[in-house]
A and B are shown apart, each in its own frame.
Chain A
């Protein structure tokens, strides 16, 4: 099928494996503070080949890519070697020189300047400067036009990137990477989750461009969670698990089930969930919630219940908590609370959501959840400072005493209430922020990756807190991609794909491999 497509594209095809391999990585090892996350990884990408790289979150994929980019230095082991087109690169790699050595990257965020034109984006770093630092944009436009024509992209070089569709942007990013290679017959293009933010119907167009790039003799390493992309568009695939390569095989020899089993390390059982028994008392009913990633979705949260929502990044579950809190504008949907009140999500503000008894702990601690320069006390009591305002002033001693008590209770270390939040570790910061929201006495906690960037000890404390809250009668919506944790904390898990709940797991069926399997399973249902 793959070769058929290549022929159908009508591109002159460099035979895979003709020249030296685009990349040979040997015994790449990486240890972070005692934990080895890459255990002597070997990987070969042939020139002219699209090579898939798959594995669960935490399998070492992204660490390997970061080593390739020169962002992490590999452990200093004599056998470690990275060879690009027959040339051994000095280790550690210098991130600024990787491009010149023929290794280019397209990351998920693409790195395009929206307000600049296609030409400016493609030629930003590689434009030819004439005497007097003059850049001939006419010449640059001509160059880019021929480049775009070569890959069959119908995009005007002078258009601002902001006007392009998501797919076109991704294509422009790939063409730019190709252009940066300069001498295109020898190079390695690394695509790191390039389709995560694309609509599904655009993916085929994108891969047409990728195949054309590969046809010129460039080796392409494709990192993705989406197995159908691997099966449809790669020649070979390497599977990482727990920091090691467990398999490297021709894609044609694998099917979806075999690949899933390789990724998870155990077979995926195919049982469908038994209907789950909801508890009596409802905290909130969400009807037809809709956002930019979430397609109309309805569900109910009961008292004392933890509802997990999960999926692959960008599938809607990670937007859900923000929509329910009014942190991001929903395009539709209604909240019905136990008191009989009905609130439209479209016009919900965080303040109103708090009035409904909701609390949101965002995943992005630095940007959305805390003021790093403010003190622990100020961060912890920002939502409840009003209650210390007595007889004309905020009673700071009262406030500090209460905060100190909470720091003890939540085991935050070090204990000072007045130190800037930034001086605490991630886990301790997170405990402070959880305490902040418990102080508002919420009915429903909305959590997004509450244990992200948190050490193992703090993780278990945070989960303990969630369990305590539930025992006290709260409801929790836990949005997380930590499949292995979810079954232990949640009463039910809703798995999202393409913005919709595709399965609801509970009881026996709610286990790690089931969740991961449902996240990964190619979408065969009619759209």
Chain B
């Protein structure tokens, strides 16, 4: 009795831990059978791994905010601002590309600090602040220039799109960021503090953790990474478009929440997010190759968000027993 339930539990834990990874494998096998060589081609995998750098960077930034229990819905607005700043300054005003990129990054830091100020000093719920801020900065992005600005300095494209081992450099930036965040979250005292602040602010404060600094810092980091995602997006496209960012918000949330159901179950964790991003795009790529288009993206991302939250709730209940 004892052993069988123990085995069942560990089996359950294993599936819980690697469920998304397993599902990913199943998905690849399924599309492999259904689509044959057109899916299993190297180019498909290059598409899958090569195109998601922007989403992964954005999702990792969001992760930092969610870990400490703050919502950041402004990431897409920040990204949009960053995209437009690079285009406007570099193409229209002739600034050198490095200065344009730096300005874009600074805008991310500044918006993040503004968010943090409103959330901490005035005690407004971060969801409300960032929902407003996101829409506000998206609007400002459109205001800077209403249509696409082509002809951004090609050195930015080179820095993002140059292939190495078949994959663009952008992928390696995102992967490096995943490793860096993993290090912070899993191996430093700061990582421990982040999780405690997310779990219970009072306990954290009474344990000597600088809760406000950590909450504010997280909002700054998520905005800064969103600005970086914008820079990478400009590099990928070679142009600045105010409308390019708007579709990224839900996929980022879907990836982060789906990420909590794997690797470190029940916790926001970078590798979970990494796996989730590529699991989702694998599904979408396969479905698109199968002939579905357009609507399937929304259905898949939206469904994944709800399903992942439902799953993590179920795991949390099982774990509590």
Contacts and interface: CB of A to CB of B under 8 A. Distances in A.
A374 B196 contact: yes
B29 interface: no
Interface in B216-259: none
Contacts of B200: 367, 371
A347 to B, nearest CB: 14
Contact of B320 (A354, A362, A422): A422
A374 B200 CA distance: 10
A360 to B, nearest CB: 6
Interface string B195-223: 11001101111111110000000000000
B189 interface: yes
Contact of A394 (B187, B205, B207, B210): B187
B8 interface: no
A443 to B, nearest CB: 15
Interface in A185-228: none
Contacts of A349: 205
A182 B144 CA distance: 65
A305 interface: no
Question: Chain A interface: which size bin?
Answer: 20 to 34
B188 interface: yes
Given A350-B208, A374-B196, A369 B203 contact: yes
A351 interface: yes
A394 B199 contact: no
Interface residues of B, number: 23
B187 A350 contact: no
B318 interface: no
Contacts of A394: 187-189, 191-192
B309 to A, nearest CB: 17
Interface in A361-388: 362, 367-371, 373-374, 378, 382-383, 385-386
A370 B206 contact: no
Nearest to B195: A374
Contacts of A378: 192, 195-196
A427 B91 CA distance: 67
A74 B77 CA distance: 60
Contacts of A373: 199, 266, 320
B203 A392 contact: no
A104 B192 CA distance: 47
A137 interface: no
Given A350-B205, A389-B189, A371 B210 contact: no
Contacts of B183: 393
Contacts of A420: 319-320
Given A351-B210, A371-B196, A394-B188, 17 more contacts: A350-B207, A368-B202, A368-B206, A370-B203, A371-B199, A374-B195, A374-B199, A378-B195, A382-B196, A382-B203, A382-B204, A383-B207, A393-B187, A394-B187, A394-B191, A420-B320, A436-B207
5 contacts: A367-B203, A374-B196, A393-B188, A394-B187, A394-B188
- 7 A-B pairs closest in CB distance: A393-B187, A371-B199, A354-B208, A385-B189, A383-B207, A351-B208, A386-B189
